[in-house]
A = this chain, B = another copy of it.
Amino acid sequence: VKIKVLGSAAGGGLPQWNCSCANCAAARSGPNGRGVGVRPRTQTQVAVSIDDRIWTLLNCSPDLRAQIEATPELHSQSPNASRHSPITGAVLTSADIDCVLGLLHLREQQPLEIYSISRVREIIRDNSLFRMLEQKPEQSKWTVFEADGRFEIALNSANGGIACRALATGGDLPYYVERQSTSSNDGAVVGLILERKGTTNTKVAFLPGVREISDELLSELSQCDLLLMDGTFWSDDELIRIQGGGRTAREMGHIPVSGSDGSLERTRGLQRPKRVFIHMNNTNPMVNEQGPEYRQVRDAGWEIAADGMEFVI
């Protein structure tokens, strides 16, 4: 299984358009804006393949057009110059703008398989902008799964597919969605366990929004080979301290990295998986490679995802 990280920041990206904090300023400095100490990062976007020919996206970020063009494997390559894309599907883990807006970069009448829980499908079906995905019959083919359900992706690959399992990982419906007083928001955000069965089983966890790491989730993670884990915030009150108000990291559905019940501490016993933080907010001090937080995370055996990273598992 090949996993490409096309984007690794939380919503807004790093730098964020209206922010000039130390992280954002550092990410904008240096030759060609390549960053000094802090690498610029587009909004989180992952692509998965088993044959380098057919790719499935994990979420569809607002930066997707540039992310595709920065990734030669994802370029259109049709010998007869008609429309073509190696991207055949996208799994959505929530209805957040950061997760779904990129669907609109995939217009132009190209067929696409979309996978999500039913609530996310409804939100998108009910929003007129996404009619661009239904300009011709069967342009979008939707597979709905439960918040603890199973489904398969990349089935049209000559090498078979990838088995997926969804896990409800906390987190609410996004701000823009009208709350339905009669229904719970539980399961509005999921993580994914991707499994490729072969001579050896290969398991990858994609968890960009995790409120808590329960013992059950921890046991799940201990059997994975690669873990792409929620690295949004360093501390629970990070945004409150910076903005002077608002919600804690956990209230936003994100376990902080630091602290006695943070993700770093909770995962200390993990042996098997390669551990990579993804979805870093521009406020997270661990993106500064000259700082103590970065050192602490690396010393604990974690990597911090950057755009362009690739993992072959």
Interface residue A158 (Cβ < 8 Å from any Cβ of B): no
B-chain residues with CB within 8 Å of residue A135 when the two chains form the complex: 175
| Min CB–CB distance A153 → chain B (angstroms) | 19
From B20, B101, B130, B178, A81 is in contact (CB under 8 Å) with B20
Chain B residue at smallest Cβ distance from A131 = B176
Measured CB to CB, the closest approach of chain B to A246, in angstroms, equals 10
Within 8 A of B (CB), among A198-221: none
**Residue among B25, B69, B85 making CB contact with A33, cutoff 8 Å:** B69
A65 on the B face (CB < 8 A): yes
A300 near B: Cβ within 8 Å?
A: no
Instruction: Assess whether A19 is in contact with B76, with CB atoms less than 8 Å apart.
Output: yes
Contact between A15 and B176, CB atoms less than 8 A apart: no
Complex interface residues of chain A between 113 and 137 (CB less than 8 A to chain B): 127-132, 135
Cβ 8 A contact of A62, one of B15, B65, B75: B65
B81 touches A22 (CB 8 A): yes
Q: Contacts A76-B20, A97-B104, A104-B62: A69 and B15 contacting too (C-beta < 8 A)?
A: yes
Other than the given A12-B107, A24-B76, 9 more pairs (CB < 8 A) read: A17-B87, A18-B106, A19-B76, A19-B83, A21-B81, A25-B81, A33-B69, A127-B129, A132-B175
Report A's interface with B, CB cutoff 8 A.
Answer: 12-13, 15-22, 24-25, 28, 33, 40, 42, 62-63, 65-66, 68-70, 75-78, 81, 83-85, 87, 97, 101, 104-108, 110, 127-132, 135, 175-178
Nearest first, the 10 A-B pairs at minimum CB distance are: A20-B76, A18-B85, A131-B176, A18-B110, A20-B78, A21-B81, A128-B176, A66-B66, A18-B83, A17-B68
